[in-house]
Structures are given as structure tokens and as C-alpha cells.
Chain A
Amino acid sequence: MTQIGQPISRLEGKLKVTGAAKYSGEYKVPNLLYGYVVSSAITKGKIIKIHTESAEKIKGVVKIFTHLNRPGKAWFDMQYADMDAPPGASFRPLHNDEIKFNGQPIALVVAETFEAAREGASMIKVDYQETKFQTDLHSNLAAARDAKKGMATLLKPPPPKPTGDFEKAYAESDFKASGEFIHSTEHHNPMELFTTTTLYDGKGKLTIYDKTQGTINCQLYVGNVFGLHFKNVRVVSPFVGGAFGSGLRPQYQLFLSVMAALDLKRHVRVTLDRSQMFSFGHRPQTIQHTRFGATQEGKITALNHTSVAETSQFEDYTENVTNWSSMMYPADNTLFEQKLVSLDVNSPMDMRAPGGSTGLHAIEATMDEISYKLNIDPLELRLINYSTFNNAEKKPYSSKELKACYLQGAEKFGWYKRSPQPRSMSRGQKLVGYGMATGIWDAMQLPARAEAIITKDGKLHVKSAVTDIGVGTLTVMTQIAADEFGLNMEDVLFFYGDSKLPFAPIQGGSFTTATVGTAIVFASKALKKKLLKIAKTSNEAFKKAEIEEVTFKNGMMIYKDCSISFLEIINTNKDKPIRTTNFGYPHALKLRKYARAVHSASFVEVEVDQELGTIKVTRALTAVAAGRIINPKTARSQVLGGMVWSISKALMEETIMDAQLGKYINQSFAEYHIPVHADINELDVLFVQEDDKIINELGIKGVGEVGLVAMPPAIANAIYHATGKRINRFPIHFDELMES
């Protein structure tokens, strides 16, 4: 039986349900010091004085670090840049007296206990000189400009160049739809607080337990910033309590923990509190505009999509908001634009389905609007404009089974029971609405290394520095490796979450399974060759065997009717393990001719209370075409998670900026609403068959983001169908739907 395709339960499950899984703040460390961060109370200006006297008197307080006494460190901004740094100058904690955003870390109180550090932090008073700040996107649109280009632009290209003559085509089109779409700031808010525990071993070596999506990214950052040899910095993160993009860059608790450990020559743990979880990266607030034109028959002829997003004053964070429509719908006349406005906030950051979950709302709500104007079923409109060609890149897709998503999804959901007119369906005191939308996400793959080993006892070990932020990487990589050698899951061990293991990029963008999975395939192929080579030296029967003629099963290498066990091969190898480390990479030449994407279609039913406007997503289905699904159980959970996020994004989630105070005012789980169990009703996931022989060895595309692109607009569209009200601001508040 092959392991790939099996719904195997998470291998670390037992550790997680018994409390035995150790997260970054949970390692037992003797004589540990605790650091508590003091955050800026102003938004912009200078620190005049930090009064630390009363905090220093607290019993147990060891040292208070500020910009005045922090140890020297890297001088050049470049060295603060991490793998995911946008163009600009990365933020440097405790660098000087300048305040660039509210909540900026300005001091670290280090004490013998957590309580003393917290108490000390609460007693620090700061004198500031405050200057005028701008934190409101809407009143600063005049400052919108193009983004600077840099390394990150490679993964996030600017929107495609204009094609045809949009203005003319739009003016002449039979049917038009347009809209303004406003999205609030969101914060990742993983359940685990950002924590770093730095172990100082006294010989210049550091072991760092960090909450991150990239062990090597953090290793390089620490090495660069503190001038340490990379080999002396080990970052370990086997369990990560959620991240959703917030761990793609090293956060400031890592810097502060390492700084204090090096200075005090002690082990130091720094944990942010929940309000401080709102002081770093976030999904930027955006304002989008769309104008789509269509023919009488429903063919989209003109696409215009523009976006203005906020960024900080020191980095140009961008995400692809307006690139998507021409990847989906083949219109000849297109005009896309993305602008930034610098505000006095920290830099935004990738947050689950960055750009896609923002842009697709505007695109798919506009498509919905057109369908009503044309009196065409929204699903039919998508089919009319269906194409397996990516018009933005002018290339065919390596595979695109979106049509199967549409048709199978509609069938399973019961889409055809929908009555076309808005406000035409009801159930008791509730208006009922059906909405649908399309989803798309890049199917990316990056280079990575992996090591494969046949151990002395004939088992397979596979190693990568990659993290498992809860997406199932451990289980999925074990399945891939097991199948390479025809082994049972029990005979394979995957080592991960450790910077001393072979290189893996940051875990994000839905590219991890393709990236690390392919590296494992490459390493396995090399290891198999090595096994054959060794077998040939001891076993006559294998002398003439070519690697293509050999199969592997249950710890045996088989050639024709002969077989040899791994243990025998190990024996030939003088009882030493056999290992290889290899690079896995995308086939650039082959792939150059193709566009690559994962697709989905979401179908949503909502109930809206006729009188009060309260909204309930009663059921939803997302059909996904994501190439080969390694583990349908964990992949389903990934998509379900994205669907819960969709409900959150459309109806609940927003970080509220008070522009007069220049700060976020709902920095807590009580007031930053994410769905509770009572908000989640029937959710269903359907994976359609999609065989992609081009994309990579395993035909993998990735499922991390695709659950969160189609469903938010499908919810908005369902609300329109239920009520006849088109609300283009997310989150949608129920009072906007209240009966007038």
C-alpha cells in the first residue's frame, strides 16, 4: 500500500493531545531569566528619558535594556534584513531614541522571575517628544505611490502591464460593474504568544528555541546581527503554535532574547503579551477599485483593478492584490495598478493568502454583480469565461481542473436549488442566500536540501530544517519518504524544525510540500543509487542491475527475482549508515512554458435575520484542484481552516485603528473577534482529481492558502443574494443588513 493519498492521522498527534509537545517557551532551563518588553505609548517622536529607577528596585530585576545601554551590534541596515524582508531598512529594536510606530519595543526588563519582569515593565515611565503622525489610509490617499523594488519582488511581481485599451473597451461594453472595496487591518494572532528561549552555553554557542516559520532564516539573522558564526547559532522549533505568516520574519523577541543572553551570559526567555502581538506584521488595510466590462453574452472584455495599501515608513511591503483577474479571465483589455501609502505603523507582513484573499473579494464580487446585471447564473458566468490559459503570463496552465471544482462543487452543494432573484429565498424569519466565487493561488516551489539515511538498523531517516507550523509537514514528508522506499510509516523518521538540518526556506506561501517534498524525492533517488552501488559490491545478482530496474519494498531492494535487505547492504557497508544530502529544485526549463496555480470554487449558504440583520453562514463547500493530495485528512483540515478564516475575514476580523491616537485599540482576544465554535456550522471540502505531470516529481501544488481566497467573496455574494444589499467593506457588520 502506498502512503501517499492515505488519510493518515498526524504523527505528532499523541504529543499534542497529552500536553507533551514542547513549544518555544516550554523547555525546562535551569537559572532562566525572563524578559518583559516595554512598548512605546506614542506613535511617532523621540524618547527623551526612560525612568527605570523604581523598576530596578523590584526584587529579582537583573537589568533593564534600553537604546542607551544596549550592547553594540551590527552597524549596517543590510544585516538586519532576513529572507522575507521587503525593500527598505528593516526595523532595529532598541536602535536609538526614535519612535516609528505605536507599540514599538523601547525597553526590555530582565528578571529572575516572569512576575518580577512584568512588574518592572509596568513601573517604567517614559518621557517622549511626540511629533505629528499619520495612521489613516483614507485621508492619505494623495500620497499613494509605486512600490520600491527589491529581492522580495521576485516572488511578488508587480501587476501585469496594461493590454489593449481598457478605457475604450469599458466604455463600449454592453454591461458594466464596478465597486470600491475596503478591508481593515488584520493581525495573525496565532494562539501561541511569540516566545524565544535563548540558551547561553558559555562558549559563544547559542541554542535558540524560537517561534518561527524558518529556523535557518532566524539562524542567519542572529548570526548577521550579532556577528556570530552561523555554526555557533542553532535555532530549534519543532512545535510552533500557529503562525499564519507572522513567523516568516524574525520578530523582535528573538533579537531581545539573544541580546540579553549574550550580554548577561545567562539563559533568557522573552515572551510577548497578547497586546504586543499587535505590534509587528499585519495584513495591511487596503482600498480597491474594480471596473469590469462584459458583452451581452457574458464574455468579460475589460478588466480594471486597482489597489492602495498601507506600508510603514521604513519598508515597502507589497502583496499581489490586483494580479489575479487576468490569471483567471481572458479579457483583451486590462489595466492593473498597485500603490502604497507610507504610514506611521510597523511594516505589514504576509498573512495567510496575502493579497489573494484581499484581491479575490473585489474580483469575485464584481463578477457576481455582472451576473445579476446580465441575469446569468453566477456559476454560468464563470464557465462562459473559463480558460486554461493564463492571460497575465500568456502561458497555458500546467493543469487546471477548476471546471471540475465548479461542477462537482455545485452538485454536492445543491447550487441548482438556488432561485436567481435576490431576497427570493427564506426560512422562517431568515432570508436565505446562496453565493459562489472562484479561488486561485500560485503553485510555487523553491529550492531546498534534504538528507536521506538508511540507518544501521535498516530504517529510513529523512532530514530538513523545515518547520511544521501545524499544517502536517511531519506526517506528509514521512509519507513521501516512505513511498520512495516502499516502507511502512513506522520505518521512517523525519527530523525537522532545526537549523542544523539541511537547508529549507521559510515555510509559507503553500510551497512547503512541493519544495521539501521534492528535495526528499531527490535525496531518496540519490540514496537508492548509492544502495545499489553498495549492493553490487557484495551481491552477484545485482551486478547488472540498473537503478530504473530496481524496486524497493518493505526494507528490501528487489531486482527481477532477487532481493537484498537494507540490513544486508548496511552490513556490506561495514555496519555504517548510508546517507546522501541533495538539492531539490523546480525544473526551470520545463516549467518556463507553463503557468502554475491551484484553483478552487466555494459555495456558501447564509441566513440573514430579516429584522435584525444577524448573519449566519449555515453551510459552505470548497472544491479544490491542487494537484496530488498527499494526505487527504490533513489537507482537508488545511482547507477547513481557510474556510473558518474566510468567515472571520468576511464577518468578524479587524484591527481597529484610532487615527486620533495613532494606535490599534482592540489589541486583545476579547475585542479582536475571530470565530468561536458557535460561529461554525456545516463546512465541507471536496478535492477534485488533478494529475499534473509537469509541475514537479510528485504533482504537488499546495493547499495552505487556497481555502481563504474564494470563500470570503462567496459569503459577500450570498449576503447579496439573501438581502439584495451589496456590502463591499470587510468585515461586514450585521447592523448594515438591519431592516430599515
Chain B
Amino acid sequence: MNNFDYQKAATVSDVVGKSTFVAGGTNLIDLLKYNLTNAATLIDINTIGEHHDILEIEDGVRLGALATNADTAYHPIIEQRYPLLSRAILAGASAQIRNMATNGGNLLQRTRCYYFYDPHAPCNKRLPGSGCSAINGYNRNMAILGTSENCIAVFPSDMSIALSALDAIINIKSEDGERSVDFADFHRLPGDTPPIDNNLKPGEFITSIDLPLKGFAKNYSYLKLRDRASYAFALVSVATGLELDGDTIRDVRITLGGVSHKPWRVKDAEHYLIGKKADRENFSAAADIILQGAVGFAHNTFKIKLAKKAIVRNCMMALDPSTQLPGAQPSA
């Protein structure tokens, strides 16, 4: 960990155009300690007076980028209107980390790939051109969708999987003004540029995340499959929101986590389900559509089948959200 200068920001205009902000610190300080990144000056954005709240807005709800994950998950508006988001947040990290980590930071967290974290192993994400150790290495927790020959790392956020399913919009400020990005267009696939995780440009600052009105509060579920019951990253996770008319699907969202460099959502699968009966057979057909093009590696081919089964299971759980268990474990 290198030494750095430290400043507290008072307003957003203090930070736009600059780099290396610290909010919760749960990922950045970790990366600094592992010498995976460095900073000349660390700008503390917790001291900015705004963007800490969860607010109702005209066409939905606005999540301040500086609100913590815990405050967001437990906020009455989120619990009542967007319980899928609550569930996903509470399936991530630990209670302590959720008390520190912020919504903006959650979207920007970096991969947990073993080789990215090992400063001496080749990794195109850490050092472009050095190679990918994971493709021919131990890749149990790596991607099966949207991979490239340069990188098969996975984006580890749970919160983002729900935000993707909820069609969230990310509000960004820069010296040039403000812009909004659809959630689907925020995170990137590795392609030829594995170091770039998302489309936030240097000098830009996330101020808030907007949730549209539709929250799927009646039929929703988040399922997370991992090698222990809690406090571990997903091998596969699924966020499902369903809008039903009797047992017919009026609207549906399905996003997969733990399988790609970005939250994986296939709108064709959702279109396929609309107007169909909410049953295993149809969910299974949709799962096949979502997993189209999936390619496994030596240690993670199981994820293709697991993801399909997880989608079906989670959609069935969404029919009765009371079946969900702590830690987003499979229903009893």
C-alpha cells in the first residue's frame, strides 16, 4: 500500500474531473492494500452533503450513490416496493461491509478473480498484454457468458443483478454536465479491453441510481448459489421479477449473476415468457434462451447446467416469495 494524500470533498463539484474517490472503502482500500491500484490523492466523498438519501421521485425512487447498501436494503420504501433489491443486497458480503459500502461503489467493485488478485500472475485485467491465467487455470468461479480470449473474469456484485432486473438508470455528473445511462449499458464485456469494467469515464461521478415505478413487489426472488451458505461470492445467482395475471406472465425480468463480466440479462427470454403460463416448462425454455452461447472452461462447465436450473428454481420461488431463505439459499 503506497502512501497518499487525503482530502475531504464538500460538494460534487469538488470531485468531478478528479480521480480516486473513497466512500465505503470496502473495495478500494482492499485493492490499495494488495497493491492492485494506487493513488496520489484519495478524495473522501462521504463528506459530500448530498446523495446519501433514498427519495421518492415522480417516476420511481432515487437511491443516493452515497447511501450505504444496508440503509438501502432496509429502507421501508425499498423493502415494500423493491424487495428484490433488498434481498439481493442482503445476499452480498457481510452485515459489516453492507454498513460501509455505498450504492455507487457497489457498481464499481472489481472482479474477485484469483489471478487478478495475485500481483505475480499474468492477468490482462491488471496488466494488459500479460495474458489470462484463468482460461487455462483454475476457473471454477469464472465466467461462461460474454467471455473473450483475453479475460473470463466475473463481476461480483449482487445488488447490480437486481438493479439490472429492475431496469435501473444510473445518473452521472461530470465537468460537462449530467447524463443518465441505462443499467444494461453501464457494465462492459471484457472484449479487447479487460481493464475497463464499465462505461464510467475518467472524471465522471455517479450521483444516484433511479428505480422505475415497476418494482415486482408481489412476485420476486433472489437466489444465490455458492460454496458456503453466506459470505461468499456467487457461482451463480439469479434475480427474478414476475408480474402475473392469474397464472399468466404479464411481465418478467430475469438477470443472472456470477456468470459474466456484467449482469447477464437476455430480453429475448423475457419476451418469450410474456403471455405464457408461469410454469417450470416455460421457465426452462426461457433458461435455455438465456444460456445460449454459454461456453464453459475446464472447471466451470457445470455452471451452464446449474444456471439453467437456478433460473427455473428462482422463477418458481418468485411465485411464492415467502419460500425465500436467509442468505438467498435455495428454498426448502
Contact = CB atoms under 8 A, between A and B. Distances in A.
Check whether chain A touches chain B (CB < 8 angstroms).
Answer: yes
B1 A119 contact: yes
B2 interface: yes
A676 B231 contact: yes
Given A652-B227, A676-B228, A678-B230, A665 B115 contact: yes
B229 A678 contact: yes
Nearest to A59: B3
A616 B228 CA distance: 9
Given A115-B3, A678-B326, A658 B120 contact: no
A673 B112 CA distance: 14
Interface in A647-672: 652, 656, 658, 660-661, 663, 665-666, 668, 670-671
Contacts of A614: 225, 329-330
A119 B228 contact: no
B208 to A, nearest CB: 29
Interface in B214-230: 225, 227-230
Contacts of B305: 738
Contacts of B302: 735, 738
Interface string A698-740: 0000000000000000000000000000000000011100110
B272 interface: no
B331 interface: yes
Contacts of B136: 660
A612 B225 contact: yes
Given A612-B309, A673-B228, A675-B228, A661 B326 contact: no
B112 A739 contact: no
Contacts of A122: 1-2, 35
B332 A661 contact: no
Contact of B230 (A430, A656, A676): A676
A661 B119 CA distance: 12
B6 to A, nearest CB: 13
Contacts of A675: 228
A566 B54 CA distance: 72
Contacts of A663: 118, 120-121
Contacts of A118: 1
B309 A739 contact: yes
Interface string B314-332: 0000000000001101111
**Which DSSP category, helix, strand, loop or mixed, fits chain A's interface?**
loop
B155 to A, nearest CB: 16
B232 interface: yes
Contacts of B312: 611
A661 B121 contact: yes
B81 interface: no
B275 to A, nearest CB: 26
A122 B3 CA distance: 11
Range of interface residues on B (Cβ < 8 Å): 35 or more
A609 interface: yes
B137 interface: yes
A679 interface: yes
A666 B117 CA distance: 9
Contacts of A733: 140, 227
B2 A119 contact: yes
A652 B3 contact: no
Contacts of A652: 227-228
Contacts of A689: none
Interface in A468-495: none
B313 interface: yes
A119 to B, nearest CB: 6
B306 interface: yes
B330 A429 contact: yes
Interface residues of A, number: 36
Contact of B332 (A430, A666, A735): A430
B310 A612 contact: yes
A428 interface: yes
Nearest to B230: A678
B186 interface: no
Given A658-B138, A660-B136, A735-B306, A670 B330 contact: no
Interface in B299-313: 302-303, 305-306, 309-310, 312-313
Interface string A112-145: 0001001100100000000000000000000000
A592 interface: no
Interface in A560-616: 609, 611-612, 614, 616
Contacts of B118: 663, 665
A679 B228 contact: yes
A660 B121 CA distance: 11
B74 interface: no
Interface string B56-90: 00000000000000000000000000000000000
A670 B112 contact: yes
Contact of A115 (B1, B306, B309, B326): B1
B228 A609 contact: no
Nearest to B300: A735
Contacts of A677: 230
Contacts of A671: 112, 114
Interface in B107-134: 112, 114-115, 117-121, 133
A513 B125 CA distance: 53
Given A122-B2, A738-B306, A612 B330 contact: yes
Interface string A673-694: 1011111000000000000000
Contacts of B230: 676-679
B327 A673 contact: no
A41 interface: yes
A676 B229 contact: yes
A689 B174 CA distance: 74
Contacts of A660: 133, 136-137
A338 B235 CA distance: 37
Contacts of B309: 611-612, 738-739
B313 A611 contact: yes
A612 B306 contact: yes
A279 to B, nearest CB: 13
A665 B137 contact: yes
Nearest to A669: B231
Nearest to B3: A119
Contacts of B329: 614
Q: Which 9 A-B residue pairs are closest in the complex by CB-CB distance?
A: A678-B229, A678-B230, A41-B120, A735-B302, A665-B114, A679-B229, A428-B332, A676-B231, A122-B35
Interface of B: 1-3, 35, 112, 114-115, 117-121, 133, 136-138, 140, 225, 227-233, 235, 302-303, 305-306, 309-310, 312-313, 326-327, 329-332
17 contacts: A41-B120, A115-B3, A119-B3, A122-B1, A428-B331, A429-B330, A430-B332, A612-B225, A614-B225, A652-B228, A660-B133, A661-B121, A665-B137, A734-B227, A735-B303, A738-B309, A739-B309
Interface of A: 41, 115, 118-119, 122, 427-430, 609, 611-612, 614, 616, 652, 656, 658, 660-661, 663, 665-666, 668, 670-671, 673, 675-679, 733-735, 738-739
Given A611-B313, A658-B138, 8 more contacts: A115-B3, A429-B331, A652-B227, A665-B121, A666-B114, A671-B114, A678-B228, A738-B306
